[in-house]
């Protein structure tokens, strides 16, 4: 790139931020050249007609044509300049990230950038501009990624055809991804790979790489630093923040109001006017949903004014003060007021805005049509019916916008939107007289609680149990909040409810001390082969149990046994130095470590027991048991051992537990959130978990006493405690309600159910001693925990088809068969990883060259169908040395 081009690009970028122009000194500084050289280049650009001078002292320069004709608002103008400059970067446009609150106009800005860049000739008109809102698929991350990158037939159940992705369509152009933070990490990784290398794979494609050259404009209403992977964030050299409405000047807001009124007037067949006071209110009212909400509120105000115009046979449509939002909010409060104002149209103080009388579509058309229909039917109560049309319209608008104002998608099914919105706005509007920050979590909790009260059926029988009042400041805060809810959404709470609400507002650090989770007395250390097998299994278990109970040491192939011994020793010594444990359970997948445990026992007098077998049920069981108060090392060992025998099926196991499984839901009343959760969970449970009892339990807000749960534990196997009040009992995992309702939030619960279900399932069919069709699917979830690259479900489907003949050839018993199935799965995963990272040669070196590894033709034929099916499905070759080694192992 020539120096002059560099100066031109710098000028384009800086012009965006400095509408008044950029001087030679600034350019010289950023390019690290001297001032007179910068001046010379700038003047050359002026001569070539690429830049223009803005007279003054010092002389400033600006990109020619940088002032756009369209009236977009003072605060947006510089963003457009900078964005267009970015898109017109000479070699390939640079990627842009837009951030800003919901409704500030990020999508609008992206559209404008494309339009203006095309209008000004920086990009060709035919350049593709593909837009996509990631929030539309937020509930299904896999499909979301599939929509963007395409889907290969068979990638998942239901993917019946190859499907192109947006990336295919946007190749050579711009892809606008709204709500980009909704992309799961895997999708974000695929995106930065595309940005970096210009290549991508469709979902389900393992090897085939496709090429695309795309400029990404991403938009997010979250804090980019929190919402995007740092690697992806770095790929956006230009970040533009769209300011919220409250930060914009009155002039700019007024300009937008005029624009939106004009758009409405364009749709009517009548003159439109607005009262001065109404217009003033539109300029002044807090509008947390920003421009999107302002626009909707104006649409609603115009619809209401039009309704009055029809009912009154008025001369023209007049927007009055009562049609527009005033105090706290827009849509909802105006929606709820208007039935009794039908005949009170004010006729004074009108100002005429714009030039109306235009063709009519949508609401105005709808109203007229409805009115004629009703007249022709001789209907008398026309006003009421027309009001219904307007109400429906308002509802449609509020459903439509701000559709993603808050990231509470899952809560929408449970809590009314107006209640959620009001709770979200409360701290801002009340300038936070609340004793506690109403963060996302509190809003979940209070929202669930209040919704239950709101449901009429519960109101009658909602006699609150007596409880002491919260602190005075929390009570006051609760009354503020209650008044606010009454004012804004007409939601009235009796005093007893407000007193209860006060307990929800008590800040965390002022809560009574919670019953402490019993200190773990047994140290569980997991040591397995593989680069990350042990850490991943430990992580899964720790996450499921909601606390760190398993420590882990990985043994990649290159790590020597001595080094591993050393690490194990250091870990155990450290743990015991703290005097916190009474014993150690070592879970290992390598026989030689068993003796290490004995050494500790003999030499150091530390009770160490070793279980030379590792899989998820064992690790999980060891973790659970180690949390039980007063559990001895023998107890923990025995529980883990039992899980092992159940899994391996090498003798008649005892059922894991004869108790029924239970999920306990908890809240302050036992009737509020706990009951909603109970109903919700009952809907979520699948047939495999139909044995699970769900029980809501009241937790006293002051004492937080858990004796009821302890009693239940005597009779039930409690899989998890779920609720709005944090409760900790021994080994039982606690899942906060808000976690469950978040995107992918049920995964922990699903896993817990799966783990507890598996014991039951295994113990029930232990008499059959047969790996049937479902047998391989038993290992699917186990495999899912340890493999990263292969799809366990696909793998098990193939095993089902081809492993039985191999089994009968070698005459394996069931446990051998399962063991081999696991072995093949893990091996396949490693091979796939090596292929993807170009490390297959290195991996092959880890297979000992063994001349005994010969096979006869017949033996190879038995394996052939399985191997070729795996190769075809996963799209990579399986090296012969691995096949031979596996065959040797099979004998
Ligand atoms: N400067 C503007 N001038 C005129 N209309 C605007 C302007 N900015 C935004 N709008 C309008 O406001 C509405 C909301 O804007 P937009 O959808 O772009 O916001 P957003 O930030 O992308 O919202 P979200 O985060 O919800 O996706 C749209 O109808 C848009 O046309």
Give 38-85 pLDDT, tens digit per residue. 888 888 888 877 788 887 778 888 877 544 455 677 888 889 988 888
Task: Flag whether pLDDT at 886 surpasses 70.
Answer: yes
pLDDT, tens digit, for every residue of 253-307?
999 999 999 888 888 878 889 999 999 989 988 787 889 889 988 988 888 888 8
| ipTM of predicted complex | 0.98
Q: Whose CA is nearest to atom 13 of ligand 1?
A: 292
**Left if phi > 0, otherwise alpha if psi is -120 to 50, otherwise beta: which for 663?**
beta
CA separation for the pair 448, 408 (Å, rounded): 12
CA separation for the pair 173, 175 (Å, rounded): 7
Closest CA to 332 of 277, 402, 266: 402
Residue pair 758/656 in contact (Cβ under 8 Å)? The answer is: no
List Cβ neighbours of 558 (8 Å cut-off, separation of 6 or more): none
Q: Give the per-residue pLDDT at 536.
A: 82
108 C-alpha to center of ligand 1: Å?
5
Name which of 92-96, 340-344, 550-554 the model is least confident about: 340-344
Work out the pLDDT band at 850, boundaries 50, 70, 90.
low
Ligand 1 pocket, mutate which of 292, 298, 400, 406 (most atoms under 8 A from CB): 292
484 C-alpha to center of ligand 1: Å?
28
Q: Give the per-residue pLDDT at 95.
A: 92
β-sheet bridge partners, residue 583: 522
Work out the pLDDT band at 480, boundaries 50, 70, 90.
confident
Ligand 1 lined by 670 (C-beta under 6 Å): no
147 C-alpha to center of ligand 1: Å?
24
pLDDT, tens digit, for every residue of 412-463?
666 787 888 888 777 766 655 666 667 766 777 788 778 777 775 545 544 5
Beta strand pairing call for 583-588 and 522-529: parallel
Question: What 8-state DSSP symbol labels residue 247?
Answer: G
Ligand 1 pocket, mutate which of 68, 77, 107 (most atoms under 8 A from CB): 107
Ligand 1 lined by 72 (C-beta under 6 Å): yes
Burial of 516 (0-12, 13-18, 19+ CB in 10 A): exposed
Task: Flag whether pLDDT at 594 surpasses 60.
Answer: yes
> Which string of DSSP letters, residue by residue, matches 517-580?
PPPP-EEEEEEEEBSSHHHHHHHHHHHHHTS--EEEEEE-TTS-HHHHHHHHHHHHHHHHHTT-
Residue pair 783/777 in contact (Cβ under 8 Å)? The answer is: no
118 C-alpha to center of ligand 1: Å?
20
Mean pLDDT over residues 660-673, rounded?
79
Ligand 1 pocket, mutate which of 77, 103, 131 (most atoms under 8 A from CB): 103
105 C-alpha to center of ligand 1: Å?
3
Q: Whose CA is nearest to atom 28 of ligand 1?
A: 292
Ligand 1 lined by 259 (C-beta under 6 Å): yes
Beta strand pairing call for 199-200 and 210-211: antiparallel
Q: Which CATH class is domain 70-241?
A: alpha beta
Residue 284: Cβ within 10 Å count: 11
110 C-alpha to center of ligand 1: Å?
10
β-sheet bridge partners, residue 527: 553, 588
Residue 402 CA, closest ligand 1 atom number: 26
Mean pLDDT over residues 342-348, rounded?
23
What does the block give as tokens for 230? 């740092």
Ligand 1 lined by 256 (C-beta under 6 Å): yes
CA separation for the pair 226, 416 (Å, rounded): 28
CA atoms within 13 A of residue 412's CA, in its CB half-sphere: 13
Residue 197: Cβ within 10 Å count: 10
Q: Whose CA is nearest to atom 31 of ligand 1?
A: 108
Into which CATH architecture does domain 522-648 fall? 3-Layer(aba) Sandwich (3.40)
Phi, psi at 617, each rounded to 5°: -60, -40
Residue 102 CA, closest ligand 1 atom number: 25
Task: Flag whether pLDDT at 574 surpasses 60.
Answer: yes
CATH code of the region 1-67: 1.10.10.10
**Left if phi > 0, otherwise alpha if psi is -120 to 50, otherwise beta: which for 696?**
beta
Q: Give the per-residue pLDDT at 242.
A: 95
β-sheet bridge partners, residue 587: 526, 611
Mean pLDDT over residues 772-800, rounded?
70
Length of the chain: 891
70 C-alpha to center of ligand 1: Å?
16
288 C-alpha to center of ligand 1: Å?
13
CA separation for the pair 141, 182 (Å, rounded): 8
243 C-alpha to center of ligand 1: Å?
11
295 C-alpha to center of ligand 1: Å?
9
CA separation for the pair 438, 860 (Å, rounded): 66
Task: Flag whether pLDDT at 345 surpasses 50.
Answer: no
Task: Flag whether pLDDT at 354 surpasses 60.
Answer: no
Name which of 82-86, 153-157, 247-251, 293-297 the model is least confident about: 153-157
141 C-alpha to center of ligand 1: Å?
25
Residue pair 609/633 in contact (Cβ under 8 Å)? The answer is: yes
- Rounded to 5°, angle at Cα 402 from 337 and 359: 75
Mean pLDDT over residues 638-658, rounded?
58
Q: Give the per-residue pLDDT at 282.
A: 92
**Comparison of pLDDT for 402 and 243, the residue scoring more:** 243
Q: Write the secondary structure of 170-222 as one string of H (helix), E (strand) and C (coil).
A: HCCCEEEEECHHHCCHHHHHHHHHHHHHCEECCECCCCCCEECCCEEEEEECC
CA distances to 303, 366, 371, 386, 648 from 380, in Å: 21, 18, 11, 12, 78
Mean pLDDT over residues 786-808, rounded?
81
What does the block give as tokens for 690? 């139909």
333 C-alpha to center of ligand 1: Å?
22
Q: Mean pLDDT for the chain?
A: 76
Q: Give the per-residue pLDDT at 651.
A: 36
Ligand 1 pocket, mutate which of 80, 108, 116, 288 (most atoms under 8 A from CB): 108
Q: Give the per-residue pLDDT at 343.
A: 24
Q: Whose CA is nearest to atom 16 of ligand 1?
A: 105
Ligand 1 lined by 245 (C-beta under 6 Å): no
CATH code of the region 660-764: 3.40.50
Ligand 1 lined by 293 (C-beta under 6 Å): no
Ligand 1 lined by 135 (C-beta under 6 Å): no
């Amino acid at each position: 790139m020539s120096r002059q081009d560099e100066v031109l690009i710098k000028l384009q970028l800086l012009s965006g931020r400095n509408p008044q122009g950029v001087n030679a000194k600034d350019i010289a500084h950023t390019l690290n050249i001297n001032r007179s050289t910068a001046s010379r280049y700038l003047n050359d650009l002026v001569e070539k007609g690429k830049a223009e001078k803005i007279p003054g002292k010092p002389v400033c320069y600006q990109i020619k044509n940088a002032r756009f004709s369209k009236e977009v608002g003072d605060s947006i103008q510089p963003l457009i300049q900078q964005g267009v400059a970015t898109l017109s970067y000479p070699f390939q446009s640079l990627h842009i990230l837009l951030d800003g609150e919901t409704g500030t106009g990020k999508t609008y800005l992206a559209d404008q950038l494309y339009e203006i860049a095309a209008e000004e000739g920086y990009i060709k008109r035919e350049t593709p501009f593909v837009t996509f809102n990631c929030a539309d698929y937020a509930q299904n991350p896999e499909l979301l990624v599939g929509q963007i990158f395409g889907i290969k037939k068979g990638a998942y159940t239901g993917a019946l055809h190859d499907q192109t992705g947006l990336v295919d369509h946007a190749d050579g152009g711009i892809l606008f991804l709204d709500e980009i933070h909704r992309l799961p990490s895997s999708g974000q990784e695929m995106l930065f790979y595309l940005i970096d290398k210009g290549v991508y794979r469709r979902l389900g494609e393992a090897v085939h790489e496709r090429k695309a050259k795309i400029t990404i404009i991403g938009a997010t209403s979250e804090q980019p630093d929190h919402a995007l992977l740092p690697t992806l964030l770095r790929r956006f050299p230009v970040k533009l923040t769209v300011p919220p409405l409250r930060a914009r000047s009155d002039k700019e807001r007024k300009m937008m109001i005029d624009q939106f009124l004009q758009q409405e007037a364009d749709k009517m067949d009548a003159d439109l006017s607005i009262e001065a006071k109404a217009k003033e209110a539109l300029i002044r009212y807090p509008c947390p949903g920003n421009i999107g909400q302002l626009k909707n509120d104006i649409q609603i105000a115009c619809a209401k004014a039009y309704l009055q115009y029809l009912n009154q046979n008025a001369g023209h449509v007049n927007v009055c003060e009562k049609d527009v939002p005033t105090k706290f909010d827009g849509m909802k409060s105006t929606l709820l007021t208007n039935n009794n104002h039908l005949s009170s149209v004010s006729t004074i103080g009108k100002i005429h805005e714009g030039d109306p009388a235009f063709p009519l579509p949508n609401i105005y058309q709808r109203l007229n049509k409805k009115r004629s229909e009703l007249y022709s039917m001789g209907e008398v109560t026309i006003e009421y019916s027309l009001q219904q049309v307007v109400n429906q319209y308002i509802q449609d608008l509020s459903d439509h916008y701000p559709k993603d104002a808050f990231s509470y998608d899952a809560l929408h099914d449970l809590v009314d939107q107006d209640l959620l919105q009001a709770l979200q706005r409360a701290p801002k509007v009340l300038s936070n007289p609340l004793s506690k920050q109403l963060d996302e979590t509190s809003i979940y909790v209070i929202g669930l609680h209040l919704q239950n009260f709101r449901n009429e059926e519960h109101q009658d029988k909602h006699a609150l149990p007596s409880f002491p009042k919260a602190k005075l400041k929390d009570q006051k805060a609760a009354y503020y909040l209650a008044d606010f809810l009454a004012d804004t959404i007409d939601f009235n709470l009796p005093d007893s409810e407000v007193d209860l609400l006060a307990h929800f507002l008590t800040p965390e650090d002022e809560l009574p001390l919670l019953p402490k989770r019993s200190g773990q007395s047994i140290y569980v250390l997991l040591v397995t082969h593989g680069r990350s097998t042990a850490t991943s299994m430990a992580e899964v278990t720790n996450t499921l149990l909601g606390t760190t109970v398993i420590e882990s040491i990985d043994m990649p192939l290159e790590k020597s046994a001595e080094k591993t011994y050393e690490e194990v020793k250091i870990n155990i010594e450290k743990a015991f130095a703290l005097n916190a444990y009474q014993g150690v359970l070592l879970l290992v997948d390598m026989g030689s470590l068993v003796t290490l445990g004995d050494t500790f026992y003999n030499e150091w007098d530390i009770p160490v027991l070793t279980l030379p077998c590792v899989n998820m049920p064992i690790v999980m069981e060891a973790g659970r048991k180690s949390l039980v108060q007063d559990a001895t090392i023998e107890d923990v060992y025995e529980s883990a051992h039992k899980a092992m025998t159940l899994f391996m099926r090498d003798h008649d196991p005892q059922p894991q537990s004869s108790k029924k499984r239970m999920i306990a839901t908890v809240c302050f009343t036992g009737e509020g959130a706990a009951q909603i959760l109970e109903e919700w969970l009952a809907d979520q449970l699948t047939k495999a978990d139909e044995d699970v009892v769900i029980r809501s339990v009241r937790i006293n807000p002051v004492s937080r006493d858990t004796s009821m749960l302890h009693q239940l534990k005597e009779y039930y196997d409690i899989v998890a405690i779920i609720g709005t009040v944090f409760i900790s009992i021994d080994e039982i995992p606690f899942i906060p309600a808000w976690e469950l309702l978040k995107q992918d939030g049920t995964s922990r619960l699903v896993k817990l159910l799966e783990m507890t279900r598996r014991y039951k399932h295994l113990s029930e069919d232990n008499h059959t001693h047969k790996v049937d069709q479902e047998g391989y699917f038993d290992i699917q979830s186990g495999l899912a925990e340890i493999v990263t690259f292969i799809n366990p479900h696909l793998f098990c489907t193939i095993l089902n088809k081809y492993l039985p003949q191999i089994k009968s050839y070698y005459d394996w018993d069931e446990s051998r068969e399962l063991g081999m199935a696991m072995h093949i799965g893990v091996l396949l995963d490693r091979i796939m990883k090596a292929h993807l990272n170009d490390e297959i040669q290195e991996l092959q070196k880890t297979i000992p060259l063994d001349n005994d590894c010969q096979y006869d033709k017949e033996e190879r034929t038995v394996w052939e169908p399985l191997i070729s099916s795996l190769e075809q499905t996963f799209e990579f070759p399986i090296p012969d040395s691995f096949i031979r080694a596996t065959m040797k192992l099979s004998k």
